Amino acid sequence: MTPEEMATCHARAFAGQGRAWSEQEFADLLESPHVFAVGEAHAFALGRAVADEAELLTIATDPAHRRKGLGRETLSAFEAGAVARGVTRAFLEVSDENTGAIALYRAAGYAETGRRKGYYQTPDGREDALLMEKALG
């Protein structure tokens, strides 16, 4: 998956929810030896693994391909990629307004561990970020 494909999918997935990440931002992140990507052009995840912890930086599914299990498959591939890198805990943050993503993460075993008030700037104002984590492997 190329940075261009990631940027296109990300823009579609997050349309109307704030600024999508650019091709250059994806390219810059992927230059780090700690950052890894899983997925394909219609659904992908980008993560960072350092020591025994991984952070899910973003996960995106093109709206035209939702409701087919791609989000669940991509999250599972992220976790497998993290475990292959020696990770034992995964962390993420998600807008408290993103009920679909929250349901996905809870179904996958992530638990809420905190909240960042007003963390996300959106066209409609500010949204809180839920912090979630899960033990892996």
Give the active site residue among 93, 110, 127, 133.
93
List 125's β-bridge partners, or say none: 122
Q: Is 105 a catalytic residue?
A: yes
CB 98 within 8 A of CB 56: no
- Name the 3-class secondary structure at 36: strand
Pair 48, 76: CB distance under 8 Å: no
Catalytic residue, chosen from 55, 79, 105, 120, is: 105
Q: Which positions are catalytic?
A: 93, 105
